[in-house]
Amino acid sequence: MSTEAREDVKQQAGSSHAGKYLSFFLGDEEYGLKILKVREIIGLMEITSVPQTPGFIKGVVNLRGKVIPVIDLRLKFGMEPAEYTDETCIIVVDIGHAMMGILVDTVSEVLDIAEDQIEPSPSFGSKINTDFILGMGKIKDQVKILLEIDRVLSAEELAVVSEAGGE
């Protein structure tokens, strides 16, 4: 193992937050999620709607014979819907024991974020849930919202998504 690789492992072992993050945009805001949660990134494909699901659940896709649910992260976060473009893509992530697709405006890059570049998520009071925010990544002069993808959906929402995906 190279010295650089050993340092990388040592850094990640000492911290639950430091490491590699896939960054992506929703509107003008940049977000990140741990690269270890990402299965793959796919272009926008035909999404089959599933009746009687919340509006942020766009439906399901057939990914190499496996049906996976897809959520529109813009809608889940209460943002205005946006037209899909050539840059709109689906990030396939592992959530618990299942796979799920999240629709994002565009994928940016993979960032290596050190522990000292991550601040805890701010408190907005008890009525606003920020449990899904892992922290705020400070890279150069920018702030990236780091997501705890397992907590973006509530237990009830995860159950609905799992049912939509046929799990």
Q: What CA–CA distance (Å, rounded) separates 122 from 136?
A: 8
What pTM was estimated for this model as a whole? 0.82
Give the pLDDT of residue 127: 53
Minimal CA–CA distance to 88: which of 70, 111, 112, 113? 70
pLDDT in tens, 106-162: 999 999 999 999 988 777 655 556 678 889 999 888 999 999 988 887 667 777 766
DSSP annotation of 144: E
pLDDT in tens, 44-79: 999 999 998 889 999 999 999 999 999 999 999 999
Residue 140 and residue 162: Cα distance in Å, rounded? 38
Q: What is the pLDDT of residue 112?
A: 94
DSSP letters spanning 11-79: HHHH-SS-EEEEEEEETTEEEEEEGGGEEEEEE----B--TTS-TTEEEEEEETTEEEEEEEHHHHTTP
Give the pLDDT confidence of 4-52 residue by residue, as tens digits.
443 444 343 444 689 999 999 999 999 999 999 999 999 999 999 999 8
